[in-house]
Chains A and B, each alone.
Chain A
Amino acid sequence: MFSVFRDLLRYNVEFLIGVVLVGFITIFACLSFFAPMEPAMVYVVPPDQPPSWQFWFGTNSRGQDMFWQLTDAFWNSLTFGLTVAVISRIISIVIGMMAGYLGGIFDRVFMFFADIFVAIPIFPILILFYFVLRSDLNSFNLALVMACFGWPYDARLIRTVALGLRHREFTRQAVFAGMSPVKIMFEEHLPYVMPIIFSTAMANMIWSIGLEVTLAVLGFTNITIPTVGTTLFWANNHSALIVGIWWWILIPVVLLVMMFIGLFLLAVSMNEYIDPRSRLRRMGA
């Protein structure tokens, strides 16, 4: 595990940049625990102050210190993305491995459902959820709904790997030695699937955080929870751009873009690492 990480850092400049960017955003988000005030509170500092030594990222028209407000916003967005990623990973691992290893009717039924889920456009469905739940649509409910839509593509990838593993020598050994299918799947096959799980988790986080931002900007989530999306929602709501409070929009967008590029670079470089041909080319062999 550690040596993989070292190799990636040494041979893959994209991975290095990704680690730096994501690490920076993660540290920034963790600062929210040291915030001197409750980030959701309004009118605690003088409004509309440009960035200065006292207020690093300025203050917004709602009287919030942008620096501390954004640390909390990024913390919430990151935990949201992680929640979706973890839940949908669990679904995709269980379904992908079962479909691949057990095959037959399992395979056909699961993949049939996967194909249905892939084809349904999620954005109208999410809006529908907001439409019925309104402000009851908190981050966790939204994460749960999105996790239910985030698994099929990755389950297919995992299934392909599991299909290949089924006919390998060691699997037959394990079967003859009397290992149960569940044990084979999760003790013998899971390590082979792990790299895919990591790289798809990053892609999944980009997808879920991006959708959350979009929904929040339109005002279709609980807008009292500070996330990156709701920050932009309030900025638009107060016409920040027209009033000239550019830091209210520019700083979150720049940080957000940094986070997305970081996650994307991690996903791409891990993907490349999975494929031995491109890995060898990268190492100059």
Chain B
Amino acid sequence: MKAYFLFALKRLLQLFAVCFAGISAAFFISHLSPISPVDSIIGRVSGRSTYSPEAIRALRATMTELFGLDVPLWQQYLNFWGRFVTGDLGPSLLAFPTPALRLVMIALPWTFGLLTATIIINWLIGNILGGLAGYYQNNRFLKAFGIVAIGLQPIPHYIVAFLMVILFGFLWPILPISGGFAMNVRVAWTPEFVLSVLHYALLPALSLVLVGIGTWFLGMRALVSNIVTEDYVTYAELAGVKRPTILFAYVIRNAMIPQLTSLAMTLGLIFSGTIIIEQVFSYPGLGTLLVRAVNEGDTTVVLAVSSIAIIAVATAIFIIDLLHPIFDPRVRVE
């Protein structure tokens, strides 16, 4: 048990390091830019009508102070962390003066739900089918599935989502292609609302499954087709252990460990894919918020979404790492 705590502590340190490095990077990228947010706001304001130079100067001074840009960069950085740990990420410009964090928190559950549901579907079904395909290598259905997976897996999320919109939005319009729930449904925990949410999530989820499931299927198939040549599998077969037992208890269980590591390592990538798909379907999650904030030039919301995304992904990786010992007894002992 002590070994496990050490392992968890190491991972926890890593979690903090990732959050710190990622958020610092986000801060410096957004603050070292040659284009200051103050100038871009003044540009937008004065573009519509003419103001006196004094008014512009006063506005510039006010904005500089509001953004906290009147102090050196390192001071801004410290101030940023000081406010960050208290959960203050500044007001959004999209919906001034709503805090940027609140906008992010409204969007987060949508992304979280979509992401969790599709990752679980992809990982479980992809791995089980892949395991079967690696073990029963002559099965026609699994062979066909492998070819489809090879065809779909390398296509970027955006293209698949786009094709889904064309298919189910224009050619055969049976599924809703935009939004998170029907307009005439009230947001509450009623069966009607939940059904509507599920109905609207179908296409985004389907796109994510189509792109994502192949990775796990192909990875698992390759792993299992190597494991079945190991001596211990041959021995188990000769000893008359039932085939399903060999497959699930001896083969798939061993192959699960690298697949779990690989899930932790690709989570950032999967997250990126999800926010793109949200944008295509105007799903009310982080992706849509991020793109809207960029188009509106809203620095605080962009920074807030990036920071929360970094924390969320790092935490998810941390949790997956903590699950490791369940599958891999060696981690428990070492």
Are A and B associated in one complex? Answer: yes
Q: What is the bound-complex CA distance between A170 and B222, given in angstroms?
A: 31
Are A214's CB and B156's CB within 8 A? yes
Are A119's CB and B154's CB within 8 A? no
Q: What is the bound-complex CA distance between A129 and B302, given in angstroms?
A: 11
B215 to chain A, nearest CB (A): 11
Are B155's CB and A119's CB within 8 A? no
Are B156's CB and A125's CB within 8 A? no
Are A124's CB and B314's CB within 8 A? no
Question: Which residue of A124, A136, A220 contacts B309 across the interface (Cβ within 8 Å)?
Answer: A124
In the assembled complex, B79 has its CB within 8 A of some CB on chain A = no
Are B271's CB and A278's CB within 8 A? no
Whether A124 contacts B294 in the complex (CB less than 8 A), given A119-B314, A265-B150, comes out as: no
Whether A206 contacts B265 in the complex (CB less than 8 A), given A121-B309, A253-B159, comes out as: no
Chain B binding surface, main DSSP class: helix
Are A217's CB and B158's CB within 8 A? yes
Are B310's CB and A214's CB within 8 A? no
Residue among B218, B302, B317 facing the most chain A CB atoms (10 A cut-off): B302
Question: Closest residue of chain A to B25, judged by CB?
Answer: A125
Q: What is the bound-complex CA distance between A122 and B313, given in angstroms?
A: 11
Are B154's CB and A220's CB within 8 A? no
Which residues from chain A contact B166 at a C-beta distance below 8 Å?
Answer: 241, 249
In the assembled complex, B18 has its CB within 8 A of some CB on chain A = yes
* B:121-148 near A, CB below 8 Å: none
Which residues from chain A contact B76 at a C-beta distance below 8 Å?
Answer: none
Q: What is the bound-complex CA distance between A271 and B323, given in angstroms?
A: 29
Whether A264 contacts B153 in the complex (CB less than 8 A), given A124-B309, A133-B33, A257-B159, comes out as: yes
Which residues from chain B contact A214 at a C-beta distance below 8 Å?
Answer: 156-158, 276
Are B154's CB and A121's CB within 8 A? no
Which residues from chain B contact A257 at a C-beta distance below 8 Å?
Answer: 155, 159
Question: Which residue of A132, A218, A277 contacts B29 across the interface (Cβ within 8 Å)?
Answer: A132
Which residues from chain A contact B265 at a C-beta distance below 8 Å?
Answer: 118, 153
Residue among A122, A129, A132, A253 facing the most chain B CB atoms (10 A cut-off): A132
Which residues from chain B contact A268 at a C-beta distance below 8 Å?
Answer: 150, 218
Q: What is the bound-complex CA distance between A95 and B269, given in angstroms?
A: 22
A189 to chain B, nearest CB (A): 24
Question: Which residue of A121, A213, A277 contacts B156 across the interface (Cβ within 8 Å)?
Answer: A213
Are B294's CB and A263's CB within 8 A? no
B130 to chain A, nearest CB (A): 14
In the assembled complex, A102 has its CB within 8 A of some CB on chain B = no
In the assembled complex, B268 has its CB within 8 A of some CB on chain A = yes
B174 to chain A, nearest CB (A): 18
Q: What is the bound-complex CA distance between A29 and B206, given in angstroms?
A: 33
A212 to chain B, nearest CB (A): 9
Which residues from chain B contact A218 at a C-beta distance below 8 Å?
Answer: 276, 279, 291
Which residues from chain B contact A131 at a C-beta distance below 8 Å?
Answer: 30, 33, 294, 297, 299, 302
In the assembled complex, A38 has its CB within 8 A of some CB on chain B = no
Q: What is the bound-complex CA distance between A279 and B148, given in angstroms?
A: 23
In the assembled complex, B245 has its CB within 8 A of some CB on chain A = no
Which residues from chain A contact B99 at a C-beta distance below 8 Å?
Answer: none
Are A119's CB and B313's CB within 8 A? yes
Whether A120 contacts B155 in the complex (CB less than 8 A), given A125-B306, A127-B302, comes out as: no
Are A275's CB and B226's CB within 8 A? yes
Question: Besides the contacts A128-B26, A128-B30, A253-B162, what 13 more A-B pairs have beta carbons closer than 8 Å?
Answer: A112-B14, A119-B22, A120-B314, A121-B271, A124-B290, A127-B294, A153-B265, A210-B157, A214-B157, A214-B276, A241-B170, A265-B150, A268-B218
Q: Which 5 A-B pairs have the closest CB atoms?
A: A132-B33, A123-B272, A210-B156, A264-B154, A124-B306
